[in-house]
């Protein structure tokens, strides 16, 4: 038995070596690693600073943002060969919160590879919701602690965006609240986006890339759909407006850059 | 002093030995669950949360525990009383913590495993997630899920009860919600006179009046109060004049659709003779008033159910004989077995 191994071993090594020489100018990526996604919240071209001086949008409304929390979920990474790796669904729900500084998420045990795009959802899909207690697991507590649960309806806020604003018609600083989620079984506001990474994100035993995404808070009200706070400052369960907010939010993300390396540097 | 202390300690030990009933998960067993013959298909996914002996007992303990509220007194059972088929009898609006009252009438908790929408407006479509609403509502229980879980985690008796009921997870939100569901899933009301008559059990017969009432009901009410659950689980506007001091929009509060204004879930009529007051805001104190409303009390609005418009007249025409028949029939929906079932009772 042992002698067979002894004979086979060199043979295998040759095969492996030959296999490697095919892509000799490419690094061999093996094992699995962590992919970090950093959500850098911004307003337009500026960094988002909660509670700091007003920011003027294209509708001439001046916003002071005090809260920006959103749920991201159901991550899938696609590699250069077009193969998709879907992150285990039960572990694929995250709240990112500017207030608490929890804006980076780590996806672990990602198979080695060269990833070219990322797909994720904003919010919680109906399939997950309808799994009841079993499906929510510890995410419920997380959502409650970060102001992402609605109390009057047992559902999630996908986006919690709050602050004060002034405009030509509203001269005193006035609170605004934009809470977006699905409306019971009546309206599903869960959306998915796919973003090209621009640079390949390299994952292996040694390589832990950080994907920096920019989330432009300006797009929430001032994206493809224009929503005026002067007209309505509290947008929660509006059949007309909340799908527009959902569409805007799904358009607020871009990949800014990817860091390849050991994952220690940003 | 020392003596007093020992007595206290003794008390503690004795109370510990009391909860030996939650022996261990190994002794847990699945409870039999049968869908009554005359019922539609079950909606609840029982495979993912099969009721067990200890899970059910835990759910019951939670249902009757005031710890779930901020003031420590208001339990689920405070508003959902068994004697009245788990409604809040005599209260138009449910009373919660700090004596704040809500704006809605407490519906019956029975046959929940067969419904796909919960509360008057369908604020959730999964039974497991329903308890979050009363627990976190400031006028009902005024707590947070995290707050409740912290209290429960600190309680030794609960720790043991959770361990015995669930193989994994111990005291967790998931198991907490599962236990409450197990209790509610088992709460089936299916042994009224009507059920026995329909299933041909025990030689139960309807009187002439009751049989006539059933015919009238099938002709005039069963389009909405459908199946042997007496609801089609849809949201409809049955023509109640909106209460101007509340202006409760019903389903539209969840959906945000103007076309859902003033639509409410069609309630089940099981045990209806016990569940006064009636309608989402508990405005009617008797079934006579309900029938008078159906014949002459409706108001028109853009979302009024089409079936309630008949030419010039609004409403459901009913003569005195038909009303009497209906009242007699509605009494047959009372299920004494259910309201006296020891498995569900607080004490």
Average the pLDDT over A181-203 and give the result. Answer: 94
Domain boundary among B159, B189, B219: B189
For residue B50, the enclosing domain spans 30-189
Contact B123 A149 (CB under 8 A): no
Query: Is the CB of B255 inside 8 Å of chain A's CB atoms?
Result: yes
Based on the fold, state whether residues B147 and B202 are members of the same structural domain.
no
User: What's the token pair of residue B233?
Assistant: 């689980």
Based on the fold, state whether residues B255 and B330 are members of the same structural domain.
yes
Summarize pLDDT for B135-168 with one digit per residue, the tens.
Answer: 887 767 778 888 899 999 999 999 999 999 999 9
pTM: 0.84
Q: Rounded to an integer, what distance in angstroms lies between the CA atom of residue B322 and that of residue A251?
A: 60
Q: Count, in order, helices (H) and strands (E) of chain B.
A: 13, 4
Local structure of A109: helix, strand or coil: strand
User: What's the token pair of residue B192?
Assistant: 């009224």
Given a contact cutoff of 8 angstroms between Cβ atoms, the answer to whether B95 and B70 are in contact is no
What's the structural domain count of chain A? Answer: 1
Q: What are the residues of chain A with a beta carbon less than 8 Å away from any beta carbon of chain B?
A: 129-134, 136-138, 140-141, 144-145, 149, 151-155, 183-187, 237-240, 242
In order along its 347 residues, chain B shows pLDDT tens digits of: 344 434 343 333 444 444 445 568 888 999 999 999 999 999 999 999 999 999 999 999 999 998 888 887 789 998 999 999 999 877 766 666 555 556 789 999 999 999 999 999 999 999 999 999 888 877 677 788 888 999 999 999 999 999 999 999 899 999 999 999 999 999 999 999 999 999 999 999 999 999 999 999 999 999 999 999 999 999 999 999 998 888 899 999 999 999 999 999 999 999 999 999 999 999 999 999 999 999 999 999 999 999 998 777 899 999 999 999 999 999 999 999 999 999 999 88
Among A141, A186, A189, the strongest candidate for a mutation testing the B interface, having the largest count of B CBs within 10 A, is A186
Summarize pLDDT for A24-34 with one digit per residue, the tens.
Answer: 346 688 999 99
Which DSSP category does B101 fall into? B
Is residue A140 domain-resident?
A: yes
Given a contact cutoff of 8 angstroms between Cβ atoms, the answer to whether B256 and A242 are in contact is yes
CATH number at residue B230: 1.10.760.10
Is residue B1 domain-resident?
A: no
Query: Is the CB of B103 inside 8 Å of chain A's CB atoms?
Result: no
Summarize pLDDT for A45-76 with one digit per residue, the tens.
Answer: 888 999 987 889 999 999 999 999 999 999 99
From B218's Cα to the closest Cα of chain A, the distance in A is 29
Question: Looking at chain A, which residue has its C-alpha nearest residue B49?
Answer: A134
If one counts every other C-beta atom within 10 angstroms of the C-beta of residue A191, the result is 17
Contact A237 B253 (CB under 8 A): yes
Q: Is residue B107 left, alpha or beta, with left meaning phi > 0 and alpha meaning psi from -120 to 50?
A: beta
What's the structural domain count of chain B? Answer: 2
Summarize pLDDT for B240-278 with one digit per residue, the tens.
Answer: 999 888 889 999 999 999 999 999 999 999 999 999 999
- Assess whether pLDDT exceeds 60 at residue A4: no
Q: Counting beta carbons within 10 angstroms of the beta carbon of residue B20, is it exposed (0 to 12), middle (13 to 18) or buried (19 or more)?
A: exposed
Is residue A25 domain-resident?
A: no
Is residue B2 domain-resident?
A: no
Give ipTM to 2 decimals.
0.74
Q: Rounded to an integer, what distance in angstroms lies between the CA atom of residue A240 and that of residue A235?
A: 10
B104 CB-near residues (< 8 Å, 6+ apart): B93, B94, B119, B120, B248, B280, B281, B282
For residue A252, the enclosing domain spans 32-259
Domain boundary among B170, B189, B208: B189
**pLDDT grade, residue A266 (50/70/90)?**
low
Angle B164-B169-B175 (CA atoms, 0-180°, nearest 5)? 75
Beta strand pairing call for A159-166 and A55-56: unpaired
Based on the fold, state whether residues B254 and B317 are members of the same structural domain.
yes
Measure CA B233 to chain center. 14
Q: Rounded to an integer, what distance in angstroms lies between the CA atom of residue B62 and that of residue B180?
A: 7
Based on the fold, state whether residues B97 and B215 are members of the same structural domain.
no
Given a contact cutoff of 8 angstroms between Cβ atoms, the answer to whether A73 and A88 are in contact is no
Based on the fold, state whether residues B34 and B159 are members of the same structural domain.
yes
Question: Look-up: residue for tokens 């943002």?
Answer: A65
Residues of A in contact with B137 (CB under 8 A): 151-152
Given a contact cutoff of 8 angstroms between Cβ atoms, the answer to whether A75 and A118 are in contact is yes
From B210's Cα to the closest Cα of chain A, the distance in A is 38
Based on the fold, state whether residues B197 and B60 are members of the same structural domain.
no
What pLDDT sits at residue B273? 96
Based on the fold, state whether residues B36 and B185 are members of the same structural domain.
yes
Is residue A26 domain-resident?
A: no
User: What's the token pair of residue B80?
Assistant: 């959902």
Measure CA A39 to chain center. 7
Query: Is the CB of B104 inside 8 Å of chain A's CB atoms?
Result: no
Among A125, A129, A135, A154, the strongest candidate for a mutation testing the B interface, having the largest count of B CBs within 10 A, is A154
What pLDDT sits at residue B96? 61
Summarize pLDDT for A149-160 with one digit per residue, the tens.
Answer: 987 777 899 999
Based on the fold, state whether residues B58 and B184 are members of the same structural domain.
yes
Question: Looking at chain B, which residue has its C-alpha nearest residue A235?
Answer: B256
What pLDDT sits at residue A26? 60
Local structure of A134: helix, strand or coil: helix
Contact B126 A137 (CB under 8 A): no
A88 CB-near residues (< 8 Å, 6+ apart): none
Please, what's the b/e burial string for B147-177 (b: 16 or more CB within 10 A of its CB; e: otherwise)? Answer: bbbeebeeeeebebbbbbbbeeeebbbbbbb
Based on the fold, state whether residues B42 and B173 are members of the same structural domain.
yes
Based on the fold, state whether residues B227 and B332 are members of the same structural domain.
yes
Angle A86-A90-A95 (CA atoms, 0-180°, nearest 5)? 95
Based on the fold, state whether residues B73 and B173 are members of the same structural domain.
yes
What pLDDT sits at residue B169? 86
From A37's Cα to the closest Cα of chain B, the distance in A is 28
The three-state DSSP-derived secondary structure of B261-281 is CCEEECCCCCCHHHCCCECCC
Domain boundary among B160, B189, B218: B189
Peptide bond between residue B277 and the one before it cis (omega within 30 degrees of 0): yes
Contact A134 B129 (CB under 8 A): no
Give kind and range of the element (H or E) at residue A110: strand A104-111
Based on the fold, state whether residues B233 and B165 are members of the same structural domain.
no
Contact A133 B177 (CB under 8 A): yes
Residues of A in contact with B143 (CB under 8 A): none
Q: Rounded to an integer, what distance in angstroms lies between the CA atom of residue B51 and that of residue B205?
A: 34
Cite the annotated binding site of B for heme c by residue number. Answer: 76, 79-80, 221, 224-225
């Amino acid at each position: 038995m042992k002698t067979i191994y002894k004979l086979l071993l060199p043979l295998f090594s040759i095969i492996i070596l030959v296999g490697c020489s095919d892509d000799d100018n490419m690094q061999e990526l093996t094992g699995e690693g962590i992919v970090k996604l950093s959500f850098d919240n911004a307003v337009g071209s500026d960094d988002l600073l909660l509670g700091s001086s007003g920011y003027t949008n294209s509708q001439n409304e001046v916003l002071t943002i005090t809260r920006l929390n959103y749920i991201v979920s159901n991550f899938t990474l696609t590699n250069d060969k077009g193969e998709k790796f879907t992150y285990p669904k039960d572990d694929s729900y995250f709240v990112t919160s500017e207030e608490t500084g929890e804006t980076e998420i780590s996806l672990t045990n990602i198979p080695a590879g060269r990833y070219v795009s990322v797909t994720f959802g904003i919010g919680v899909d109906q399939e997950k919701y309808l799994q009841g207690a079993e499906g929510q697991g510890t995410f419920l507590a997380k959502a409650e602690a970060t102001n992402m649960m609605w109390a009057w309806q047992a559902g999630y806020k996908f986006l919690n965006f709050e602050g004060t604003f002034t405009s030509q018609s509203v001269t005193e600083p006035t609170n605004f609240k934009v809470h977006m989620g699905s409306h019971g079984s009546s309206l599903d506001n869960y959306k998915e986006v796919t973003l090209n990474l621009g640079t390949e994100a390299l994952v292996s035993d040694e390589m832990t890339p950080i994907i920096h995404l920019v989330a432009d808070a300006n797009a929430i009200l001032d994206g493809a759909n224009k929503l005026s706070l002067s007209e309505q400052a509290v947008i929660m369960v509006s059949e007309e407006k909340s799908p527009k907010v959902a569409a805007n939010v799904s358009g607020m993300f871009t990949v800014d850059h990817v860091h390849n390396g050991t994952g220690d540097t940003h | 002093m020392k003596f007093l202390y020992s007595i206290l300690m003794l008390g503690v030990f004795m109370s510990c030995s009391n909860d030996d009933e939650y022996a261990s998960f190994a002794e847990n067993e699945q409870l039999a669950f049968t869908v009554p013959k005359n019922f539609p298909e079950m909606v609840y996914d029982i495979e993912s949360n099969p009721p067990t002996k200890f899970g059910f007992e835990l759910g019951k303990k939670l249902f009757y525990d005031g710890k779930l509220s901020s003031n420590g007194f208001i339990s689920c059972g405070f508003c959902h009383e068994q004697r009245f088929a788990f409604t809040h009898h005599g209260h138009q609006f449910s009373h919660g913590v700090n004596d704040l009252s809500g704006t809605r009438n407490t519906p019956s908790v029975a046959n929940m495993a067969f419904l796909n929408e919960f509360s008057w407006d369908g604020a959730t479509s999964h039974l497991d997630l329903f308890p979050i609403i009363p627990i976190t509502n400031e006028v009902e229980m005024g707590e947070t899920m995290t707050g409740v879980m912290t209290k429960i985690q600190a309680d030794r008796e609960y720790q043991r009860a959770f361990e015995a009921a669930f193989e994994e997870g111990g005291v967790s939100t998931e198991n907490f919600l599962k236990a409450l569901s197990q209790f509610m899933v088992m709460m089936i009301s299916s042994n009224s006179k009507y059920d026995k008559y329909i299933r041909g059990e025990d030689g139960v017969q309807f009187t002439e009046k009751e049989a006539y009432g059933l015919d009238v009901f099938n002709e005039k009410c069963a389009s909405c109060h459908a199946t042997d659950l007496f609801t089609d689980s849809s949201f409809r506007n049955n023509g109640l004049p909106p209460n101007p001091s509340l202006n409760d929009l019903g389903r539209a509060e969840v959906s945000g659709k103007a076309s859902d204004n003033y639509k409410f879930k069609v309630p089940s009529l099981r045990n209806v003779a016990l569940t006064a007051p009636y309608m989402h805001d508990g405005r009617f104190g008797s079934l006579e008033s309900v029938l008078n409303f159906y014949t002459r009390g409706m108001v028109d609005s853009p979302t009024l159910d089409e079936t309630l418009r008949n030419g010039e007249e609004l409403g459901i025409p009913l003569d005195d004989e038909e009303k009497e028949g209906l009242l007699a029939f509605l009494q047959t929906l009372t299920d004494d077995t259910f309201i006296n079932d020891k498995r569900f009772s607080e004490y």
